[in-house]
Structure 1
Amino acid sequence: MRTKMIHTALACALLAMTATGCSKTLKAEPKTPAKLVQIQAPMTVLQLQLEQRLDTDGKIPRSLKLNKKMTTDLQVATHGDVFFAASEGGVVSAINATGKLWSIAVKDAITSAVALSLDGKVAVVGTHSGKVVALDANNGNVLWAKSLPTVSYTPALVSSNRVLLSGNNGTLYGLDRATGDVVWQFDTQFSTLGIIGAAKPIAIDRDTAVFGTTDGRIHALNIQTGVPMWTRAVGMAAGGSMTDHLKDVDAMPLVVGSRLYVTSFSGPFVGFDMTTGQKMFAKPIKSLTTPTHLGGMIVVTSTSGDVTAFNAITGDVLWENKELKYRKLTNPVAIGNYIVVGDFEGVIHIFDTSGKIISREKSKGRLTSLQSNQNRLYTQTQAGVVNVWRF
């Protein structure tokens, strides 16, 4: 995750006031969220198994409390039947079906959470002061804590011996997993006008990680050394307003076999063939969320609230649903033969493969992102409530 807010150091013009105290704002055209239409004969797809309110030690800076338009995306991480979650108020917990296994306060507001190593041994979070904290996933003990010159608003990538993360200053960092020391850093063409946050880095093979950045590009770097391997342009600035110039790649790219799918704030949505390095298609859709795939389709939620399914090879539109306009949708997730998305009122919308909404569920507070693992859907709200649903 990330915190979705526009910033510019040059003009100090923001969509909402940040901690720097700038008073000028960009006034977006009011967008009225669509009213939900009652579903006739709704199906039962999700069953609530656990509702857990996360602990907090109250360590949220006053500037973040005052900034109601900042949406911190604190993602749940899973390993087996255990999930790891963090509250904005600074507490990380490991939880299973019987309750909390451990909790620890990191004594600062948490801005990025939770990154978990593939072996399930190390959990990593980032804080408002720029600290990166690595925890023993078995007991919550602090393995190390290191301070960076910037804050990160998106989960890290924890590989076998590196912790990779995107700083909000446009720098990509590779830390030693055992010590937290900075092994390498890579500076991108940082834009002073962009979304606060960046895409979570992902590994596309054992040696290569992909980062999305505010310059509208994706960068592939060697995980061990940080040496750049290739770069692809995705986001394109268009129009005359300040927001029209935003081209951030703010969502984690999606890898399906040898294909890479990337969204950007300004558009387009792009599919790449990684075997040739060529674009398969580019579609004019604006998005701040990671796509999902189901069968031969890729599903994207747009910034305006449209949910669209594309052919995974050609990019042709298979279906489009416009019933959730301006409801601030989360990333879509595939569960079984269905697609689910969440919204700002905590509603989970369930689509069938034709794009029809066939069911809904409700959680407490604005949903920030969805994750699924095996036959479980994990939802976390801005209010610090995690629900586990069985499908």
Structure 2
Amino acid sequence: MSARRLTLLVAGAFCLGACSSLNPFSSSNTKIPALKPLTAVAKTAEVWRGRVGSAGRFVFQPAVFGDAVFAAAADGTVVKLQAGRNVWKSSVDMPISGGVGSNGRLVVVGSPKGDVLALDAESGKMKWRVSVNAEILAAPVVSDGMVVVRSADSRLFGLDPADGKRRWVYQRALPALSLRSSAGVVQEGNAVFAGFPGGKLVAVNAINGSLMWEGAVAVPRGATELERIADITSLPVLGSRAACAVAYQGRIACFDLANGSTLWARDMSSSRGLDQDGRHVFVTDEKGSVHALDLSTGSSAWKQDQLAGRGAGRPRVVREYVVVGDVEGYIHVLRKDDGSLVGRLRAESSPILADIQLSGGDVVVQTQDGSVYALGVQ
């Protein structure tokens, strides 16, 4: 057995054992805390519902473009939904492990064996297929000029959207142990932002794959390799002037979007992720509590700990609210200015592990059993 293979096995054992929060399917006897009665202020309602199929052991997030929603299942099914109606349903004839990415013209997914498959967004027909020779767990990013794919070994591939031809590869040295993650990349203009094992956030040129800047979100600390794991396992978020990211067993930090200089950083552990608006950064910590931090200074604005222990996911900002999903299939609505819980809806009991997506004033959710639905929050 190779040293590299051993490293991956050890990392997997660590995630399954010591880091049950990173593995929602682990056999944990921890009881999920009961929800307290709620006097709803925000109105929540199901707008539409569709279905794609089970995610299995993977995590799929739907892609929203205009009024179209694209979703994938582990068995190779890809669907296009509009208002919950199936516009088309295709099979790529192989398992899918990463997806979905779309720019409204292409729909791109990845396979456990490293195949990248692009479908026509109008018809669902296959346009091209290429291989990057590594498992794909994250949703690709699709723009008019480039398809960016992240492999499970944290390499970034820039592919031509016309035919899938490889244009560039970005890779960096990784620590001995790292966490298995479905976190992908975010693109803004000609810059691609990605978090890496070891706590680094990088900006990469989307045209040629060259490094534009890097910032240290977290610095690995501890006496053992396990203690020194400080990986960014969620998407960075971008605002008008700041790029922010958070690391497991590390810190949350914001950087100047143009040059990568550190604006502020503070200790906080999260594998779930974060969001921001013009005033605050919202983050779900490792225990499941949701925080609002001042975007300029990092100081605490509020903390909501009633969701602790419920496997709360990445928070998303919807107008004056913050919405968060959990492992029992609930969507929780928090008031953005003070963190108070003002709404709740449970469309079904399947876990919500994928990032909630936004579609106008609605939120789009894909559950692990394969339901895809839109919720209105007012």
**TM-score, normalization by structure 1:** 0.87
User: How much is the aligned-residue C-alpha RMSD, in angstroms?
Assistant: 2.3
Identity within the alignment, %: 24
How far does residue 13 in structure 1 lie from its aligned partner after superposition? Answer: 2.5
Give, in angstroms, the shift of residue 357 of structure 1. Answer: 0.8
Structure 1 distance, partners of 2:110, 2:230, is: 25
Tell me the CA shift for residue 160 of structure 1. 1.8
* Alpha-carbon distance between aligned partners in 1 of 2:13 and 2:94, rounded to the nearest angstrom: 22
Q: Structure 1: where are the runs of 5+ without partners?
A: 1-6, 19-23
Residue matched to 1:131: 115
Letter matched to residue 46 of structure 2: L
Distance (whole Å) between structure 2 residues aligned to residue 144 and residue 101 of structure 1: 21
Paired with 1:238 and 1:30, the residues of 2 have a C-alpha distance of: 30
* Cα distance change of structure 1 residues 130 and 329 upon mapping to structure 2, 3 Å threshold: same
Quote the offset at 1:276 in angstroms.
5.0
Indicate the residue corresponding to 1:21 in structure 2: none
**1:135-154 alignment runs, 5 A limit:** 135-154=119-138
Tell me the secondary structure at the aligned position of residue 227 of structure 2: helix
8 Å CA contact retained: 2:333, 2:341: yes
Matched residue, 1:42: 40
- C-alpha distance in 1 between matches for 2:272 and 2:101: 18
1:235, distance to aligned residue in structure 2 (A)? 2.6
Shift in Å, 1:35: 2.1
Structure 2 counterparts to residues 97-176 of structure 1, below 5 A: 97=83, 99-117=85-103, 120-176=104-160
Which residue among 189, 192, 196 is the counterpart of 2:173?
189
CA contact (8 A) 2:195 2:232 kept: yes
The Cα shift of 1:31 comes to: 5.0
SS of the residue corresponding to residue 145 of structure 1 reads: strand
TM-fit CA distance, 1:32: 4.2
AA of the residue aligned to 1:84: F
For 2:19 and 2:13, how far apart are their aligned partners in 1? Answer: 9
Given candidates 259, 270, 293, the residue that maps to 2:276 is 293
Q: What amino acid sits opposite 1:351 in the alignment?
A: L
- Residue 367 in structure 1 maps to residue 357 in structure 2: no
Aligned with 1:202 (options 159, 180, 186)? 186
Post-superposition CA distance 1:27-63 (Å, at most 9, x none): 8697543221111x2124221011222147xxx9xxx
Provide closer, same or farther for how the CA distance between residues 347 and 25 of structure 1 changes in structure 2, counting only shifts above 3 A: closer
Residues 374, 139 of structure 1: alpha-carbon distance in 2 compared, 3 angstrom cutoff: same
Instruction: Describe the superposition over 1:72-100 as per-residue Cα deviations: whole angstroms up to 9, x where unpaired.
Output: 22111112211111112210100012610
Name the CA distance, whole Å, in 1 between partners of 2:126 and 2:202: 31
Q: Which amino acid is 1:112 matched to? A: G
The letter of the residue matching 1:50 is W
Instruction: Indicate yes or no: 2:220 matched with 1:223.
Output: no
Whole-angstrom distance in 1 between the partners of 2:218 and 2:119: 35
Question: Aligned in 2, Cα 1:27/1:291: closer, same or farther, shift over 3 Å?
Answer: closer
- How many angstroms apart in 2 are the aligned matches of 1:106 and 1:272? 39
Q: Secondary structure in 1 aligned to 2:356?
A: strand
**Distance in 2 between residues matched to 1:384 and 1:220, nearest whole Å:** 33
Does the CA-based 8 Å contact 2:268-2:285 persist in structure 1?
yes
Aligned residue type for 2:207: Q
Whether the 8 Å CA contact 1:49–1:389 is kept in 2: the answer is yes
Q: Distance in 1 between matches of 2:19 and 2:360?
A: 42
SS where residue 246 of structure 1 aligns? coil
> Which residue matches 1:384?
370
Aligned-partner Cα distance in 2 for 1:347–1:329:
9
User: SS at the partner of 1:194?
Assistant: coil
Change (3 A) 1:315 1:31: farther
Could you list the runs of 5+ residues in structure 2 that have no partner in the other structure?
Answer: 21-27
CA shift in 2, pair 1:245/1:38, >3 Å: same
Equivalent residues of 2:239, 2:278 under 8 A apart? no
Paired with 2:84 and 2:36, the residues of 1 have a C-alpha distance of 37
TM-score (norm 2): 0.89
Residue 354 in 1 paired to residue 338 in 2?
A: yes
* Per-residue deviation, 1:145: 0.8
Alpha-carbon separation, structure 1, partners of 2:312 and 2:278 = 22
Question: What do residues 353-381 of structure 1 show as CA deviations (whole Å, max 9, x unaligned)?
Answer: 21111111003200012111211110111
2:9 to 4, 8, 12: 12
